[in-house]
Structure 1
């Protein structure tokens, strides 16, 4: 029997790491090759897309998708980690009674770059930045390009400001919260964070880990057509599939693209291909 392969949408609870979820799925399914498409901090909750089996090779496509978060920023106090896990470095920041939401909206949507937190998993000389931070070494982390396509204040109950945002890959919400606090003229840190959506999928379609069993997890695999936005879908005939799996190209009319998702009649993922000048060639073959 071939190893099952597919994607599961998991609603990660607070208090466990993203790898804890992977470890739980390995124990549940017996599949060793399991990954995910973007780490959530242990205290964060929300959507984690987990890849089981050979589809782990496709994670990079989903990692590039924009992500939607809701976050609560506590104004007036700052920690060395940007969240509740760190030590306070300031607790005397001003806390306004009201917010200029129009001003915040303009500033946040106009943001083009943002520096990663000192306490982050970003690799520096092969080591995560938090290794240096824990030893008291301050790194000069260059700002990274970001794109904020959505921002809105959901609630302001001083000192807590809850907001929603849709951001590009590589945007650290802890850094965004500190930037927002700076726009308000104070300091702040993130006290709650929930990932609401990745690309075209959201939490309404996610499973709690304890809802899955060895008997039902394959039925819970998410339809790949709903995951891979911006892809062309192609169901190769048997002879075409044989050629593609042997690394050979096949004729196929259509526009040039490097995003063709290959599926069988049951919508099981077969791989990724690209088309150039009416000729489709395999990029990733899944078996």
Structure 2
């Protein structure tokens, strides 16, 4: 069984769950999960956790995400992309300069109303289930941050954009909002996620490539180890006496530490080198990674944050 993270290129037409289901068949293991849904028609980076790494799905480093999208002005749909029913079509009577000004105005934090066709829950029900029943529910706007919004190409009514944004941003809704600001409406015609959780599309593997590497025994070289995802954290190695504690997921004191390294430097385990609630990668005396611990300065002990035993 594989334990680690794999950078999958999701092709259009697959749901994120389809990718997980196919990987379970290819890798012959059940413990597989992804870290962020991509719409079926979208493509690009889907970060998938395998084996023990499935515990990472909700705590992976909160990197921003990057997309390339095509905004189609003049058309609105109920899904805010081209998979839905067309609601309105109107002429696009805007200049390129007007488009540039409006697009630039969305850089920063703004309140975004999520789409009806989304997995957000309202009163215990997913919005897309309610939408398929013909219901339209009022959605509360949520703050999202657009770090960069670059025009790659403009051939009106189409605009190709590169977007770097915070988690929770709906690119469909961004396209809708830009269209509304231009008074002609708009929807998302195409979406590629080019980066997520530190992984890039250029290094992604398609399902057929993963299957080929699995068959020839080379797939392990494409899987990122769990502790590599947190390479910026300092590392603690415990003594043999500390092994019994960490192998049972228990807290331990500084006396159980054999060594501490931060980057390439070996540090001493003194309080002035420790920060309250700082996190550490913890290894047993045999150098096997066991989990992430937090330091309680007041108690002078390390407490488990997430174990990977």
Normalised TM-score (structure 1):
0.90
Q: Aligned pair in 2 of structure 1 residues 105, 190: CA closer, same or farther (>3 Å)?
A: closer
Q: 2-side partners of 1:268 and 1:171: how far apart?
A: 37
Which residue number in structure 2 is paired with residue 280 of structure 1? 302
Per-residue deviation at 1:105? 4.7
SS in 1 for 2:23: helix
Is residue 269 of structure 2 the alignment partner of residue 249 of structure 1? no
Q: Provide closer, same or farther for how the CA distance between residues 93 and 136 of structure 1 changes in structure 2, counting only shifts above 3 A.
A: farther
Structure 1's 249 and 137: CA in aligned 2 closer, same or farther, altered over 3 A? same
Classify 1:280/1:140 alpha carbon distance in 2 versus 1 (closer, same or farther; 3 Å). same
1:271 counterpart = 2:291:
yes
Indicate conservation of the 8 Å contact 1:12/1:46, yes or no.
yes
Q: Where does residue 99 of structure 1 map in the other structure? A: 97
Deviation at 1:211, TM superposition (A): 1.2
Q: Report the counterpart of residue 79 of structure 1 in structure 2.
A: 77
Partner of 1:192: 190
Hey, which bits of structure 1, 4+ residues long, moved more than 3 A?
A: 99-102, 223-229, 261-269
Quote the RMSD (CA, aligned, Å).
2.4
Q: Is contact 1:201-1:226 (8 Å) kept?
A: no
User: What's the secondary structure of 2:251's corresponding residue?
Assistant: coil
CA contact (8 A) 2:61 2:197 kept: no
Distance 1:140 1:268, change over 3 A: farther
2: CA distance, partners of 1:170 / 1:186:
25
Larger deviation, residues 181-190 vs 115-124: 181-190
Deviation per CA, 1:207-238: give whole Å up to 9, x if none: 12211225232221125465347x41414235
* Cα offset, 1:241, TM superposition: 4.2
1:130-181 Cα offsets, whole Å, 9 max, x none, are 1111121110110112111111111111111111111111111111111112
Aligned length: 284
| Equivalent-residue separation in structure 2 for 1:132 and 1:105 (angstroms) | 31
Match in the other structure for 1:169:
167
SS class of match (2:163): strand
Within 5 Å, give how 1:19-168 maps onto structure 2.
19-62=17-60, 64-100=62-98, 103-168=101-166
Following superposition, the deviation at residue 89 of structure 1 comes to 0.4
Report how far residue 265 of structure 1 moved: 9.9
- d(CA) in 1 for partners of 2:288 and 2:159? 43
Distance 1:266 1:32, change over 3 A: farther
Secondary structure of 2:167 counterpart? coil
